[in-house]
Structure 1
């Protein structure tokens, strides 16, 4: 349908043989490849990524002429990813675990980022700022991989007593926010032509500006639409989606790119907090279901397009091996750091080991941010091209190596390392036990109390 509309507007570029037609075929093929991979219980995104790599290297797609369109699609996908991360952060769980969750979320992330930074500097011969940028992206955990596996375990009662699935989801949200904010700040500095003093100020400005805008937008989402509005659900979806797009594209427009992604997570989290006070439980939030449906559309686009950036005939074998060495070193040391940081918490050793293993999976942030530097560099500068291509190679290898491995490890070790509750608490109506569809969203507010209060207004 979207292709038909595009063809009616654009014409030849969307006709068979044109770049937009190739993009449509790529996304549809990636969707079905992901479905086939999901039948093996492996993450669907692996099939989507391989679809892009294969179709690019056998010459079935040609989307080079629409780099600006693809860059904007990646930004939209990033907004959806980060909004979901913010909505999955349970404010009550964060409050209960206000020390454990940030500690296990940030300290191991910092350890992995530092290890990858140092190794990429000396093994791959990159400048420090590029190495730090790579470290900040590669260290991110992927909710797209771990959340389905965790909810399968939770539905069977594993780890429910101590809230292990909720803790790991919270860790991944904090982790992703740190990665995206760090990447945005470093990218702004790297490609900035401003004075040195302003480049130094960009980091604090991005953090304060992003958190401030996100908090204000989250507060606004409490009052707009007003409580009792019969179309409250779709209007709240539009508020979060519109605010996220404004934050990401607006921060790029004012050359403060690090603020936008941070604002998206903050806005989703603050709005979720207020909505929870009004009775929307974290596990029964129709806005979250809407963003899951948006992600079904953008996931094959994001991962397949990322795969097309990898041209096998241009890869250097030694660079690939060194990239793998950087990734393995970072992951191994992160696992040990996670276990050590958990000392003093109420978690036992088996639970700490499980959390450490679960947090090795990478995918979404790397796919969204890995190709970004290729859009920013001067293509006539061979050194800059090498740095950007190395960044992308590291990101793609991190997905290929850790996404399937992480999913398998979570599924196999969960029953062995986590305690199973005898009185199983099943989420309301089996929430997240299946894929959601548009039928799960109630357009009209069905709460009779709210409808009565709306009707009683003069």
Structure 2
């Protein structure tokens, strides 16, 4: 057998092994999804448990070449969910809820992160920097739970007169983007690799401006292309996803010269297309919803695969105290931010509940400290991040659905 034949055989085996892992995840994921719906909990809990079961700590069924791609696959899942959020943000409704959305995206997550870091200082062995890192990770809201539910309430015209679904969508999306920007800026400092200087602080607002500008400019270009060539919706989606991937690549390439918030550019792109060509946006949004079925399955399975069950069990009660303390402070600040609005008490409590679920962002960045430092503290951070998903995603999603159905008025179409 020639060297070329050997190489071809090795390539085929490796490729087959990766495909086997994907096939196993899909089959197990579909079964888990069916079981989760029977007992009325979010599908992502089933996917997480499959990841833990299939991961290296239990059965070791996933091919290493597949799990090595987890960072890129998590980024792809974030692209899909933020595009979906962008395609639901209407300009007129944003004007109506702008002040509240800005307050909700800034104040509650900052206080939650501070509360988590403080609790960690007193009841865990985590260093101050690790506590801050965990606080930042936990201060994000789950778009995987919030976005589909708000889209559903909007289609049912629940709370639409006051723009409540759009307020939650806008505030949660901005919250997550700001968390991701702050995390990316502070991560090298918190990991002990470099000091945070004035340039690091200044880079946060600069990255917001450049991200929004890029989203608008590319959005203008894509609208012109769509108008001129009128491609099918599937081709539009493929082009938009490709552009979003380029944004992420660009963020890394120009980081040393110009701060750039790629994920904000992604969401702004969706926002621009919706407000300029609504017919395009609806078709693209429907296609993205179908893509999310697979993206969600792979994202949460891969996160589950990185969890060490022994560490997760050991941190159990302590982790719940950390998560609960942070949520308590966050909920109080959320309600305070809504004071002075025209919302009823029940509508305010609905928004408070909507900010309980944690999933997508915790899944996307919870494993980053472990990848960078491989420390015991980083293992605890990942375990608490996953515990926050398991504890808050099902309860928060169920509470949000029930509260919305009972506390949001059904407005005329």
Change (3 A) 1:396 1:315: closer
Q: Where do residues 233-272 of structure 1 align in structure 2 (5 Å cutoff)? A: 233-234=233-234, 236-253=236-253, 262-272=261-271
Check whether the contact 1:87–1:272 (CA below 8 A) recurs between aligned residues: yes
- The structure 2 residue matched to 1:312, chosen from 293, 301, 309, is 309
Question: Aligned partners of 1:71, 1:210: CA distance in 2, in Å?
Answer: 23
Check whether the contact 2:80–2:288 (CA below 8 A) recurs between aligned residues: yes
Number of the residue aligned with 2:219: 221
Q: Deviations over 1:121-176 (max 9, x none)?
A: 33223233322222122111112212333444445543233222222112211111
Change (3 A) 1:325 1:146: same
SS state of the match for residue 98, structure 2?
A: coil
Check whether the contact 2:79–2:244 (CA below 8 A) recurs between aligned residues: yes
Check whether the contact 2:87–2:273 (CA below 8 A) recurs between aligned residues: no
Change (3 A) 1:24 1:143: same
Question: Aligned partners of 1:172, 1:264: CA distance in 2, in Å?
Answer: 14
Number of the residue aligned with 1:82: 82
Number of the residue aligned with 1:445: none
- The structure 2 residue matched to 1:418, chosen from 384, 401, 408, is 408
Gaps of 5+ in 1: 1-6, 380-384, 426-458
Number of the residue aligned with 1:205: 203
Count residues in correspondence.
403
Q: Deviations over 1:194-251 (max 9, x none)?
A: 6x47x54134225413531442243223123152322174554344322321232333
Number of the residue aligned with 1:30: 29
Check whether the contact 2:215–2:264 (CA below 8 A) recurs between aligned residues: no
Number of the residue aligned with 2:71: 71
Check whether the contact 1:233–1:287 (CA below 8 A) recurs between aligned residues: yes
Number of the residue aligned with 1:325: 321
Is 1:123 the counterpart of 2:123? The answer is yes
SS state of the match for residue 362, structure 2?
A: helix
Change (3 A) 1:369 1:230: same
Question: Aligned partners of 1:86, 1:257: CA distance in 2, in Å?
Answer: 27
Q: Deviations over 1:395-434 (max 9, x none)?
A: 101110111001111222223322333x3x2xxxxxxxxx
Check whether the contact 2:33–2:46 (CA below 8 A) recurs between aligned residues: yes
Number of the residue aligned with 2:382: 392
Number of the residue aligned with 1:290: 287
Number of the residue aligned with 1:436: none
Question: Aligned partners of 2:257, 2:131: CA distance in 1, in Å?
Answer: 19
Number of the residue aligned with 2:105: 105
Q: Deviations over 1:288-326 (max 9, x none)?
A: 223222222211111011111122234462x32211101
Larger proportion of helix: 2
Check whether the contact 2:51–2:303 (CA below 8 A) recurs between aligned residues: yes
Q: Deviations over 1:29-86 (max 9, x none)?
A: 1243124313444211111111112233541524445553222222222222332233
Number of the residue aligned with 1:303: 300
TM-score of the superposition, structure 1-length normalised? 0.79
Question: Aligned partners of 1:359, 1:77: CA distance in 2, in Å?
Answer: 20
Check whether the contact 2:182–2:204 (CA below 8 A) recurs between aligned residues: no
Gaps of 5+ in 2: 1-7
Aligned-CA RMSD value: 2.9
Question: Aligned partners of 1:8, 1:74: CA distance in 2, in Å?
Answer: 30
Change (3 A) 1:255 1:216: closer
Check whether the contact 1:211–1:266 (CA below 8 A) recurs between aligned residues: no
Higher mean C-alpha deviation, range 291-300 or range 157-166? 157-166
Number of the residue aligned with 1:43: 42
SS state of the match for residue 229, structure 2?
A: coil
Question: Aligned partners of 1:98, 1:36: CA distance in 2, in Å?
Answer: 40
Check whether the contact 2:89–2:274 (CA below 8 A) recurs between aligned residues: no
Question: Aligned partners of 2:258, 2:330: CA distance in 1, in Å?
Answer: 25
Check whether the contact 2:121–2:128 (CA below 8 A) recurs between aligned residues: yes
Question: Aligned partners of 1:415, 1:80: CA distance in 2, in Å?
Answer: 27
Number of the residue aligned with 2:11: 10
